[in-house]
Amino acid sequence: MSLRTESVVAIYPGSFDPLTNGHLDLIERGRRLVGKLVISVLNNEAKHPLFSVDERMDMLSEAVEGMDNVEIDSFDGLLAEYAARLGASVILRGIRAISDYEHELQMALMNRRLRPDIETMFLLAGEGNSFISSRLVKEVARLGGNVSGLVPAAVENRLAARFSESKV
């Protein structure tokens, strides 16, 4: 049974520094509900990301190859204004645990205040992914731990390369 609403453009915004299998699960499930899903990488150097926006977009593009209704983009400034410019009516976000809820609630309500016509849609993280975060993946990879199964293989390779560069 299809739940897809063809006319809906949704944005899945995030830092994606880097993309994890938790994000990918959300992309797979989210894209089945909408006509087009635009994954948008936040361009915010103040967060001191490990990967540049271009690198993060490359990793996403590789991972979503073959997903016909998915596009990759980046944004800065207000998410609600960017979503409106794109003609998106839905912001997609994932919730892993109750600890995500408070921050997500605040963001969703603020975005609704800024743009009442845009709805935030939450999907629960897959149960096997609910402990995965980009922050922990980076920490484990930086300390030489195994992140296989937590991120796509291409991301695993980029993490290894990035942390071996920083040792020289």
Active site residues: 23, 47, 96, 134
Instruction: Indicate which single residue of 24, 42, 60, 151 sits in contact with ligand PNS (rule: CB under 6 A).
Output: 42
Residue 13 touching ligand PNS (CB under 6 A): yes
As measured in angstroms, the least distance from the Cβ of 15 to ligand PNS is 4
Q: Which stretch binds ligand PNS (CB under 6 A): 7-15, 27-35, 136-144, 159-167?
A: 7-15
Which phi and psi (to 5°) does residue 160 adopt? Answer: -60, -45
Task: Indicate the residue among 13 and 152 with the shorter CB distance to ligand PNS.
Answer: 13
Task: Indicate the residue among 61 and 106 with the shorter CB distance to ligand PNS.
Answer: 106
**Contact string 110-139 vs ligand PNS (x = CB under 6 A):** xx----------------------------
Handedness of CA 140, 141, 146, 147 (dihedral sign): positive
Residue 30 touching ligand PNS (CB under 6 A): no
> Other CB atoms closer than 10 Å to residue 86's CB: what's the count?
17
Task: Indicate the residue among 31 and 134 with the shorter CB distance to ligand PNS.
Answer: 134
Q: Which stretch binds ligand PNS (CB under 6 A): 8-16, 54-62, 115-123, 137-145?
A: 8-16
- Token pair in block for residue 115: 């743009």
What residues contact 42, with CB distance under 8 A and at least 6 apart? Answer: 13, 14, 15, 74, 75, 76
Instruction: Indicate which single residue of 35, 78, 153, 157 sits in contact with ligand PNS (rule: CB under 6 A).
Output: 78
Residue with tokens 């897809």: 4
Handedness of CA 70, 150, 97, 109 (dihedral sign): negative
Instruction: Give bridge partners of residue 121 from the DSSP assignment.
Output: 92
Number of residues that bind ligand PNS (CB under 6 A): 9
Cis peptide leading into residue 18 (ω within 30°) = yes
